[in-house]
Amino acid sequence: MPFSLPDLPYSKDALEPFLSAETLEYHHEKHHNAYVTNLNGLIDNSAPGNESMQDLERIILSSEGPVFNNAAQVWNHTFYWKCMKRGGGGTPTGELAKAIESSFGSFEEFVKEFTAAAVSQFGSGWAWLVKEGRDLKVVKTGNADLPLKHGQAALLTVDVWEHAYYIDYRNLRPKYVETFLADLVDWDFVAANYAAAT
């Protein structure tokens, strides 16, 4: 079975006014879908059941070049959509909040480090909050690269490819990242990722 484009976890206008329906339509239905289509054209889909996130992760870990790039981008985008929700932002609570404070000193320091990683990523890529061993870290990756390839558990990501924000923010990547943290992050999803990695 071929991979299929996952549905967004909310309506295309759910993140307005912070991300427009136009941005989500182009980003999800054009860019994300292109990675799915490309991946299906590069792999053998004759085997049944080749459509889960576990299957996708197996392909990512065993491939390089075009197969890796498209598989990783399918995973990255599927994860990215889940990192946001209507009415998101604010601050985390519970065990995740304690872990962030322990690893970064304070939530405010985490925000500074995450923002710096996202803004300073040269060209296209991603900024991530990851769990590595017992610690939380902020990392950035270029192009399709992702924490899974480096033995890290992804907890949160922001997409800093220009197509993720250019319709709404033009060249103002710092404003997009600020808005992402302040108004869009689904901290419940991040907390669930942290609990699963602990």
Which tokens is 22 given? 């136009």
| Homologous superfamily assigned to 21-82 | Fe,Mn superoxide dismutase (SOD) domain (1.10.287.990)
Domain 21-82 and domain 94-197 have a common topology = no
pTM here? 0.96
Say if residues 152 and 120 touch (Cβ distance below 8 Å): no
> Phi and psi dihedrals of 156, rounded to 5?
-155, 145
> Phi and psi dihedrals of 17, rounded to 5?
-90, 10
Whose tokens are 């924490």? That residue is 147
User: Domain locations in the chain?
Assistant: 21-82, 94-197
Give CA–CA dist 58/70, Å, rounded.
13
Fold for 94-197, please state it. Answer: minor pseudopilin epsh fold (3.55.40)
Q: CA 143 → CA 7, 76, 103, 121, 128, distances in Å?
A: 23, 10, 26, 10, 13
Task: For 149-165, write each residue's pLDDT tens digit.
Answer: 999 999 999 999 999 99
More reliable by pLDDT, 184 or 50 = 184
Mean pLDDT for the stretch of residues 172-186: 98
Give CA–CA dist 162/151, Å, rounded.
27
Task: For 43-88, write each residue's pLDDT tens digit.
Answer: 976 555 555 788 999 999 999 999 999 999 999 999 999 999 999 9
